[in-house]
Structure 1
Amino acid sequence: MTNQQFPENFLWGGATAANQLEGAYQTDGKGLSTSDLLLGGDVNTPRKTTRELVPDAFYPSHEAIDHFHRFKEDIALFAEMGFKLYRFSIAWTRIFPTGLETEPNEAGLAFYDQIIAELKRYNIEPLITISHFESPIGLTKAFNGWAARDMIAAYVRFAKVIINRYHQDVKYWLTFNEINMLTRPMGAYLAGGMYVDDSDRFISPDVDSEQLRLQALHHQFVASALVTKFAHELDASLKIGCMLAYRMLYPLTSKPTDIALVQTATEFNNFYCGDVQVKGRYAYFAKRYWRDHDIQLDISADDETILAAGTVDFYTFSYYQSSTMTTTGEGKQAGGNFFSGVKNPYLDRSDWGWEIDPRGLRTALNQIP
């Protein structure tokens, strides 16, 4: 057996999100994001959002682990762990507090100046996620989140500011974190907490509109392509990537309808977004899905040109677990909710009920087209 090793320049590292670790949610002029209105929860208590801040409620992002004030010691620990790369996100509302401003918040930019300088001290390569599930609440209220085309210009303005600011020190960028989450009911919240029919509720899995979610996703594709093209024109050395949440899917039985269900779910959840961002166009199965689910998206000829011209340089994904699916009994999937799977008899589960499947990662790496 050949003794295989990772190449010398392989980038071992780790990843965080601003809303998961920074805290200091109102420091230096930072505005409210969707994550700042997301309540805490646990394995038995689903997390929920509120439209306004509720006194004495627990919002994890408000303090988190206080990385905002402790980033130097945190980055020193990263170096001690042998990190060669660190992926982090820039909080949109540190730079544009409501998302509607025309000029950026210098205090917010200065904070990330310090982060990047500290990483350079330890020779850790930065990889920045431009948008990691924290749209400004100001844009949610003004535009109904990414359901509105107006979000494209606001995002592009934000992205151009930070790419212009940091491109000499940051060569790797991701436009959106786990963009394919918008194919799932919870994606409506991740798309900026879209409102329904002027109600006070955010869209949630029980108040869902697949039409709105997929339109929001299309707007993110266009925004990603515009920013990718801008970055390439600004600095040819920049590498812009996409990022998805990949999940291996297995049929519970060899019943043909179970096999067909897994095929459709794999296409929709794992390949739908990657095809657009890597190949610059929607795949045949995307159009079939729209037809089968009576979805009519607003996609202009200009949008198609933008998508074709703004393809990414590299593909990334997260992998947490696999899911097992069936079309019969209690495991029957409904309404496109492909991940309400049944227990796989061959896999153990974590305390959170997630299947533990390292072999699935290897299969996924070979499955990605």
Structure 2
Amino acid sequence: MTTKFKFPNNFWWGSATSGPQSEGRFNKLHRSVFDYWYDIDPEAFFDKVGPDVASNFYNSYKEDIAMIKDIGLNSVRTSIQWTRLIKDLETGEPDEDGVRFYNDIIDEFIKNNIVPVINLHHFDLPVELYDKYGGWESKHVIDLFVKFAETAFKLFGDRVKYWTTFNEPMVVVEGEYLYKFHYPLISDGKKAIQVLYNINLASSKAIQKFKKMGYNNNGGQIGIILNLTPSYPRSQDEEDAKASEFADDFFNNSFLSPAVKGEFPESLVKILKDDNVIWESTDEELQIIRENIIDFLGVNYYQPRRVKAKEFLYDNSRGWMPDKYFDNYDMPGKRINPYRGWEIYPECMYDIAINIKNNYGNIPWYISENGMGVEGEEKYINSDGIIEDDYRIDFYKEHLEYLYKGIEEGSNCFGYHTWTPIDCWSWTNAYKNRYGFIAVNLKTQKKTIKKSGRWIKEVSKNNGF
């Protein structure tokens, strides 16, 4: 077989999941905002399936990691749950069972020659920190997060070389504080802006702690995972272009710029100041953000954003919202994943690669999530009981071809992780759409490799396809 698309040496072929989406709630001391939301309103979750069992990774991690090795993945990102690792949220003192569990899974990954990439926050703030302090609205919570990070670095930094502070922090801003799709279901632009700033500061402070503890001196690296949704204007018309620049600044560059360059986009700061919603910050905090930038970047890419200039006057009674400066554009003829309602636009992989190369110092980066969620995959089961998910293989191939083009043109990309190794619990969607290389039967917890799992094994072995 000839390999047409040959990727750089030591390329990461892997997959991503998270603690709250895979482990289940077994032996956890604290509830996250999602645990709590499920407890008070199970109706909000598809088929009323909550995070209690998820894919049972807490109990079956040995078998699960063996299957992940079997499909040829050389790296996996998961997360440490603040609610599982930490006993005392104020001091950062760890819980014995949490320490044992995370030690075991890290050792198991390493034993199987899989690089563990460990993330610290995947939408799973302990709910008591929300109840007591307002969660990410609070600067005190930033300091508690740093204590949690310090405990994790101390316990696992001897073996974990790749860390990330946050996964998709913009989703916390959008879901919890703007568009009400995550608990606490608030829509308050001013609070959203403060949360955006505070999470940037929390990430920088965790990076500062990592470096102070000397983990970067022995080959350790720390980054962040951002979901980038590049904004494409409806037309080249000046007003459309301006709308798309704002959307890019708000949804992408508000985390990308501070993480890579240590500063917020000037154009965004000006608008927030003019509109009187700018965050509260100090010179000392801004200096911490300036001086503690990431070593590498993870990019989650699923879909682009299409925008146009506002067509109707913004309704100020809603309070400040980013929608004041653009409208979403429903582009005719776009390709859609019908199960998710998301546009399929693989060309974006190339645009992201070139943007990072040209505008972000060509920082080392990797695709940290890319995937296709499909409902009712059981209808694709063949006579051997295998899900024939050719649609997923085709989706990955197309995206990888555009990523390859960006790498060929000099973008410093070192890996490709899909979402997700094993079908996992996905927030309010629960198990509605499946993404994994490995299927889970929720009734029996039996796990079966899909056709795409055999495909990725070959890709990983050949370092291309």
TM range (shorter): 0.7 to 0.9
8 Å Cα contact 1:128/1:174 also seen in 2:
yes
CA–CA distance in structure 1, aligned partners of residues 202 and 188 of structure 2: 21
User: Aligned runs of 1:13-92 on 2, under 5 Å?
Assistant: 13-23=14-24, 25=25, 27-39=26-38, 52=40, 58-92=48-82
In the superposition, relative to structure 1, how do residues 278 and 129 fare at CA in structure 2: closer, same or farther (>3 Å)?
Answer: same
Q: Please provide the CA RMSD for this pair.
A: 2.8
In the alignment, the residues of structure 2 paired with residue 84 and residue 308 of structure 1 have an alpha-carbon distance, to the nearest angstrom, of: 33
Q: Verify the 8 A CA contact 1:32 1:136 in the aligned structure 2.
A: yes
Match of 1:242 among 224, 237, 243: 224
> Helix, strand or coil: the match of 1:160?
helix
1:124-203 alignment to 2 at 5 Å?
A: 124-184=114-174, 186-188=175-177, 203=184
- Does the residue aligned with 2:116 lie in a helix, a strand or coil? strand
Q: Are the equivalent residues in 1 in contact too, given 2:250–2:322 (CA < 8 A)?
A: no
1:211 aligned partner, one-letter code:
K
Relative distance call for 1:20 and 1:340 in structure 2 (3 A) is: farther
Change (3 A) 1:319 1:61: same
Alignment of 1:185-224 (within 5 A): 186-188=175-177, 203-204=184-185, 207-224=186-203
Distance in 2 separating the partners of 1:299 and 1:256:
33
Cα displacement (A) at 1:249? 1.8
> Per-residue displacement from partner, 1:306-346 (whole Å, max 9, x unpaired)?
1122111111110001122223559x999314897332224
> Identical aligned pairs, as a percentage?
26
- The answer to whether the aligner puts 1:357 opposite 2:345 as a matched pair is yes
What's the offset of the Cα at 1:257?
A: 1.4
SS in 1 for 2:247: helix
Letter in 1 for 2:20: N
Q: 1:107 corresponds to which letter in structure 2? A: D
TM-score, normalising length: structure 1: 0.85
> For 1:149 and 1:10, how far apart are their aligned partners in 2?
38
- Cα distance in 2 for partners of 1:313, 1:342 equals 35
Q: 1:180 is paired with a residue of what secondary structure?
A: helix
Deviations for 1:167-195, whole angstroms, at most 9, x for unmatched residues? 111000100111233453x143999x7xx
SS of residue paired to 2:94? coil
The SS at the match of 1:88 is strand
Distance of 1:60 and 1:75 partners within structure 2: 23
Q: Is 2:277 the partner of 1:298?
A: no
Q: Mean alpha-carbon deviation: is it higher for 131-140 or for 254-263?
A: 254-263
Query: Is 1:94–2:84 an aligned residue pair?
Result: yes
Question: How far did residue 137 of structure 1 move?
Answer: 0.8
Q: Is 1:280 matched with 2:262?
A: yes
Alpha-carbon distance in 2 for matches of 1:18, 1:339: 35
User: 1:9 aligns to what SS in structure 2?
Assistant: coil
SS of 1:64's partner is coil
Give the match for residue 110 of structure 1: 100
Shift of 1:276: 0.8
Are 2:328 and 1:341 equivalent residues in the alignment?
yes
1:209 Cα shift? Answer: 1.3
CA contact (8 A) 2:165 2:224 kept: yes
Shift of 1:107: 0.6
Q: 1:323 to 1:220 in 2, by over 3 A?
A: closer
Q: What is the alpha-carbon distance in structure 2 between the residues aligned to residue 142 and residue 173 of structure 1?
A: 28
Distance 1:55 1:188, change over 3 A: closer
Q: Distance in 2 between matches of 1:248 and 1:291?
A: 24
Normalised by the length of structure 2, the TM-score is 0.68
Moved more, 303-312 or 97-106: 97-106
Q: Which protein has greater RCO, CA pairs closer than 8 Å, 6+ apart?
A: 2
Distance 2:120 2:178 in 1: 17
- Aligned pair count? 343
**Cα–Cα, structure 1 residues 125 and 190, in superposed 2: closer, same or farther, change >3 Å?**
farther
Q: 2: CA distance between counterparts of 1:19 and 1:28?
A: 13
Q: Which 5+ residue runs of structure 2 have no aligned equivalent? A: 360-465
Match of 1:316 in 2: 298
Contact 1:31/1:98, CA 8 A, preserved across alignment: no
SS at match of 1:321: coil
Gapped runs of 5+ residues in structure 1? 40-49, 194-201
